[in-house]
């Protein structure tokens, strides 16, 4: 489609939005979701041929029309929630009105596996492409742009922009990710649920976010791509500019059957998919939790120059576990130099602790020793980054515990460019009902990345290291 970027810009920054088919049965949910557009200076109209639905929309403050063509000003973005059989008539009106773009929430198309559904989808596709109108969907939740108030659901925050873009074939995965990100202090720039991707597919959306100055990193939940060759060509170009994290489902026989019935996507083998991602420099993700953790590592930490970690544990057993987890993931915890060991021994007892790497006990427990040891670690050329275990239960038992750890970490950050992150654990000491999310946010407010659990932290940091290593390799001449 010609001038697609400009057309998508118009959709993402609408002055006028029209919601077609809002109903009392679902509490006018699509209208309610767009109330922030009005609060932020935009205009939202309700379109419905059934005038019995008009009073409820009026009570919410929306003006009603029977057709898109009756709206007395240009319409930039249309949200359609009508039965599938009605969509061609809405599309015809949209073409006549010359709208900027359309999001079809409506399902019942090719994903049903029926000829009727496939024919309806082809009819919409032909009308849209002939008129040069971008369509998001059908069978999706559309656009979330918090800065302008466009939302996929009424639970999403708005009014402030972010730095992470998200592209999802699934509507619930898109809206769910935005909530997961919010809980982890990640802010969304733009998010798109594209469903069947009949007119605008993941490739075009990836290219768009790749060029978007507000988006520093792109996450994707994919069931399939309409044109695999074009997708991977675009992916390779976008990765040169910013990280791309891809959570691909449909790589097993059973999940492939699920994705085909969900969005009509055809499966591919895991080995082929992983190989192509590596060649492109993208990062394979396996869950929403991994997506959030890896995004935090890439956005909020300095680049990882290598895979060698200094590991600080809360006890001997935990230090050993921490080392096992990181080494099993593919990261390393090399011993520090003999001279560094001797320097630490000048202020910390060798009894009841360890400081060869991992570190635990007297060398890091008192705040003054922690700062000294972190300085020695920062100066060690064999260490690329630092990971500190923090017992979540200790933050409850000792209220000033976080403050002491924050002080030591911030002192390190002021002296060194090496990344330093926290992993939060819950078993020593064990305390009921510890709010891990709140502890993560407390650290985030001080500019410190905290991961819930050793495994999640190790995987996120490995992913970050892998991205930087692959980017350097792909960008190198020859």
**Shared-domain flag, residues 146 and 107:** no
pLDDT of residue 258: 46
pLDDT of residue 399: 73
**Shared-domain flag, residues 221 and 104:** no
Q: What is the pLDDT of residues 203-227, one digit of tens each?
A: 999 999 999 999 999 999 999 888 9
- Residue 144 to residue 160: CA distance in whole angstroms: 12
pLDDT of residue 257: 46
Whole-number percent of the chain with pLDDT over 70: 94
**Shared-domain flag, residues 106 and 179:** no
Give the domain range for residue 226: 142-299
Residue from 231, 217, 241, 369 nearest 300 by CA? 217
- Residue 35 to residue 59: CA distance in whole angstroms: 13
pLDDT of 393 strictly over 90: no
pLDDT of 427 strictly over 50: yes
Q: What is the pLDDT of residues 101-143, one digit of tens each?
A: 999 999 999 999 999 999 999 999 999 999 999 999 999 999 9
pLDDT of residue 268: 58
- Residue 476 to residue 466: CA distance in whole angstroms: 15
**Domain CATH code at residue 9:** 3.40.50.720
Count how many domains the chain has: 3
**Shared-domain flag, residues 94 and 230:** no
104, 136, 168 - which closes a domain? 136
238, 271, 299 - which closes a domain? 299
- Residue 260 to residue 234: CA distance in whole angstroms: 24
**Shared-domain flag, residues 150 and 275:** yes
**Shared-domain flag, residues 390 and 470:** yes
Q: What is the pLDDT of residues 60-71, one digit of tens each?
A: 999 999 999 999
pLDDT of residue 251: 55
- Structure-block tokens of residue 186: 């990640």
**Shared-domain flag, residues 469 and 335:** yes
Q: What is the pLDDT of residues 368-385, one digit of tens each?
A: 999 999 999 999 999 999
**Shared-domain flag, residues 189 and 230:** yes
**Shared-domain flag, residues 374 and 399:** yes
Of 20-34, 122-136, 306-320, 395-409, the least confident: 395-409
HSE-up of 61 (CA within 13 Å, CB side)? Answer: 10
pLDDT higher for 266 or 190?
A: 190
- Contact between 24 and 56 (Cβ < 8 Å): yes
pLDDT of residue 255: 43
Q: What is the pLDDT of residues 428-477, one digit of tens each?
A: 767 788 889 999 999 999 999 999 999 999 999 999 999 999 887 666 55
**Shared-domain flag, residues 307 and 444:** yes
Residue from 378, 365, 366, 382 nearest 312 by CA? 365
Q: What is the chain's mean pLDDT, rounded?
A: 93
**270 pLDDT tier (thresholds 50, 70, 90):** confident
**Domain CATH code at residue 362:** 3.40.50.261
268, 299, 330 - which closes a domain? 299
**Shared-domain flag, residues 238 and 308:** no
Q: What is the pLDDT of residues 158-173, one digit of tens each?
A: 999 999 999 999 999 9
Please tell me the pTM assigned to this model. Answer: 0.92
**Shared-domain flag, residues 318 and 440:** yes
């Amino acid at each position: 489609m010609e001038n697609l970027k400009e057309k998508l810009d118009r959709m993402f920054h609408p002055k006028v939005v029209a919601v077609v088919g809002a109903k009392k049965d679902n509490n006018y949910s699509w209208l309610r979701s767009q109330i922030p557009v009005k609060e932020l200076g935009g205009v939202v109209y309700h379109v419905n041929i059934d005038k019995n639905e008009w009073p409820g929309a009026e009570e919410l403050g929306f003006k009603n029309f029977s057709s898109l063509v009756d709206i007395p000003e240009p319409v930039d973005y249309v949200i359609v929630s009508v039965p599938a059989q009605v969509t061609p008539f809405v599309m015809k009106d949209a073409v006549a009105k010359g709208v900027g773009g359309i999001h079809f929430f409506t399902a019942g198309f090719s994903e049903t596996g029926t000829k009727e559904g496939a024919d309806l989808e082809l009819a919409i596709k032909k009308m849209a492409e002939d008129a040069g109108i971008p369509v998001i969907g059908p069978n999706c939740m559309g656009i979330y742009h918090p800065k302008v108030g466009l939302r996929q659901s009424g639970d999403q925050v708005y009014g402030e922009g972010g730095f992470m873009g998200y592209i999802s074939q699934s509507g619930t995965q898109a809206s769910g990710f935005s909530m997961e990100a919010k809980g982890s202090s990640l802010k969304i720039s733009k998010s798109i649920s594209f469903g069947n991707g009949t007119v605008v597919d993941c490739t075009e959306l990836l290219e768009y976010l790749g060029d978007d100055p507000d988006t520093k990193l792109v996450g994707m939940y994919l069931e399939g791509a309409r044109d695999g060759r074009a997708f991977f060509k675009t992916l390779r170009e976008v990765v040169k500019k910013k990280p791309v994290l891809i959570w691909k489902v449909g790589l097993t026989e059973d999940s492939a059957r699920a994705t085909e019935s969900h969005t009509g996507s055809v499966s591919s083998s895991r080995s082929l998919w992983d190989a192509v991602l590596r060649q492109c420099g993208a990062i394979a993700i396996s869950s929403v939790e991994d997506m959030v953790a890896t995004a935090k590592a890439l956005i909020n930490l300095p680049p990882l120059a290598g895979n060698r970690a200094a590991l600080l544990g809360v006890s001997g057993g935990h230090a050993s576990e921490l080392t096992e987890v990181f080494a099993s993931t593919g990261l390393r915890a090399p011993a520090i130099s003999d001279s560094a060991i001797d320097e630490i021994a000048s202020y910390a007892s060798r009894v009841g602790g360890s400081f060869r790497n991992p570190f635990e006990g007297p060398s890091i427990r008192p705040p003054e020793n922690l700062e000294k040891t972190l300085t020695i670690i920062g100066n060690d050329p064999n260490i690329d980054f630092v990971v500190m275990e923090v017992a979540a239960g200790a933050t409850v038992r000792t209220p000033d515990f976080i403050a002491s750890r924050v002080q030591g970490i911030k002192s390190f950050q002021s002296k060194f460019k090496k990344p330093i992150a926290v992993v939060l654990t819950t078993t020593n000491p064990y305390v009921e009902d510890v709010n891990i999310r709140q502890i993560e946010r407390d650290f985030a407010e001080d500019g410190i990345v905290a991961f819930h659990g050793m495994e999640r932290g190790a995987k996120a940091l490995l992913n970050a290291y892998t991205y930087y290593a692959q980017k350097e390799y792909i960008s190198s001449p020859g």
